[in-house]
């Protein structure tokens, strides 16, 4: 029997609701597929910060490395500045394991209403490939005259040839693998970011020459934001910097119904380190603890995880169960216009897994 071990990091807020939901789905699906899944849960996050002054312990990466994959809920607490929670847990894992690809699919499922009129199920089907280790998220900068009246803040973006080339190449390979519209759109703002993003654009042109079978377009991020709304069905693979990919993937999530449906994979394609799977959304303090969060984004992230771990059938059956719940339309959380709880939706997915 194949054995896989999964590290669970529920984190904060609704992370503690949606990760246990996805675990139940994985357990049932694994049992049916003859895959033995073992789980180790780490209660790191804001509570750990309040107790220990750190979001996670110093040996966190070594402990995570012992697992095949990581499933994360969210980090973020209203009483801790967001740059501390993010830089204390999620970003050190992405950077420390060099998880340079953040893959964020957006698909309009049957039964889900887009806020945009006139789109059939499946008509919107795109993946935002976000650079995940450098760019605007590089932790380079500082304060001068910190907290004094003449305070100055410097924040530096770092774009490397190595970093741009590998993410752009990944996007082209993905467009081939998906074999849908066979298109890659590259998003920058090189009119205003005249160094890093000019390098990105140049590398995009170089790499695209190696993929003559893939159509390309280059868009400035403001035009891309407009076109995600104006012509979302025209996109296939979209490759963007760390910050732009983050912003655009909230947009791609909402045009396909809800951020509560959007999964995300943080990948090390070379498989030197465990990859990390998570919903796109955050800890949602406005609804946390009420048991009404949508678990489907995390369940779909778990499906992406099983695909990455070499279990495409498990992945397809989990996604199929989610599709069935959505198409059925009877058991939905409030973000999708329903009145069901996290537990109800999880039970509905489990019922369709059979
Ligand atoms: P958010 O994604 O947590 O929430 C935005 C809105 O969407 C809220 O109204 C929330 O109720 C709703 N929502 C989110 N997920 C939902 C779900 N599964 N079901 C139903 N409704 C859902 O973003 P926000 O409010 O900007 O950030 C809240 C906290 O989360 C902050 O501390 C932020 O730093 C953190 N955050 C963490 C992320 C991560 O861990 N990857 C990503 C984004 C934000
Ligand atoms: Mg985001």
pLDDT digits (tens, 9 = 90+) for 276-295: 999 999 999 999 999 999 99
CATH fold of the domain at 125-255? Isopropylmalate Dehydrogenase (3.40.718)
In this structure, the residues whose C-beta lies within 6 A of any atom of ligand 1 are 14, 74-76, 82, 90, 259-260, 278, 281-287, 293-294, 297, 333, 335
What one-character-per-residue DSSP string does 221-279 give? HHHHHHHHHH-GGG-SEEEE-HHHHHHHHHHHHHHTT-GGG-EEEEE-TT-SS-EEEEE
Q: Is the pLDDT of residue 354 over 80?
A: no
Q: Is the pLDDT of residue 63 over 80?
A: yes
CA angle, 249 as apex, 246 and 251 as ends, to 5°? 120
Specify which residues 275 forms β-bridges with. 69
Q: What are the boundaries of each domain within the chain?
A: 1-100+260-354, 125-255
User: Which is the closest atom of ligand 1 to the Cα of 286?
Assistant: 11
Catalytic residues: 145, 189, 222, 246, 250
CATH code, 1-100+260-354 = 3.40.718.10
Rounded distance between C-alpha atoms, residue 96 and residue 106, angstroms: 27
User: Which is the closest atom of ligand 1 to the Cα of 264?
Assistant: 41
Specify which residues 152 forms β-bridges with. 144
Q: Is the pLDDT of residue 268 over 90?
A: yes
For residue 302, what are its two tokens?
């778990």
What is the percentage of the chain residues whose pLDDT exceeds 90?
99
pLDDT in tens, 169-203: 999 999 999 999 999 999 999 999 999 999 999 99
Nearest to 78 by CA among 50, 101, 108, 56: 50
What confidence category does residue 207 fall into, taking pLDDT thresholds of 50, 70 and 90?
very high
For the segment 235-244, the average pLDDT, to the nearest whole number, is 98
Whether the CB-CB separation of 280 and 253 falls below 8 Å is answered with yes
Q: Is the ipTM of this complex over 0.95?
A: yes
Residue 114 CB contacts under 8 Å (≥ 6 apart), including other chains: 108, 124, 255, 256, 257
């Amino acid at each position: 029997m194949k054995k896989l071990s999964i590290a669970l990091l529920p984190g904060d807020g609704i992370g503690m609701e949606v990760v246990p939901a996805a675990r139940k789905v994985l357990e049932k699906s694994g049992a049916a597929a003859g895959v033995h899944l073992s789980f180790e849960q780490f209660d790191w996050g804001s509570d750990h910060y309040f107790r220990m002054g750190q979001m996670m312990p110093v040996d966190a990466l070594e402990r995570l490395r012992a697992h095949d994959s990581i499933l994360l809920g969210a980090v973020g607490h209203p009483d801790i500045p967001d740059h501390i929670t993010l830089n204390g847990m999620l970003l050190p894992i992405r950077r420390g394991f060099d998880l340079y690809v953040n893959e964020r699919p957006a698909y309009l499922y049957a039964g889900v209403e887009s806020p945009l009129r006139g789109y059939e199920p499946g008509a919107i089907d795109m993946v935002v490939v976000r650079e995940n280790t450098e760019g605007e998220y590089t932790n380079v900068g500082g304060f001068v005259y910190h907290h004094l009246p003449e305070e100055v803040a410097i924040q530096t973006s770092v774009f490397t040839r190595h970093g741009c080339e590998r993410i752009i190449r990944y996007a082209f390979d993905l467009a081939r693998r998906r074999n849908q519209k066979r298109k890659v759109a590259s998003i920058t703002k090189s009119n205003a970011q005249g160094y890093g993003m000019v390098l990105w654009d140049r590398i995009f042109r170089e790499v695209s020459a190696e993929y003559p079978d893939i159509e390309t377009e280059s868009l400035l991020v403001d035009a891309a934001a407009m076109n995600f709304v104006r012509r979302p069905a025209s996109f296939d693979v979209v490759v963007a910097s760390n910050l732009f990919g983050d912003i655009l993937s909230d947009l791609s999530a909402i045009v396909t119904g809800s951020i509560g449906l959007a999964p995300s994979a943080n990948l090390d394609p070379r498989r030197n380190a465990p990859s990390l799977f998570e919903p796109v959304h955050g800890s949602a303090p406005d609804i946390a603890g009420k048991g009404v969060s949508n678990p489907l984004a995390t369940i779909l992230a778990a499906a992406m995880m099983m695909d990455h771990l070499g279990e495409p059938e498990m992945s397809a059956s989990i996604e199929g169960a989610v599709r069935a719940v959505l198409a059925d339309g009877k058991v939905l959380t409030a973000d999708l216009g329903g009145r069901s709880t996290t537990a109800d939706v999880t039970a509905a997915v489990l019922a369709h897994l059979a």
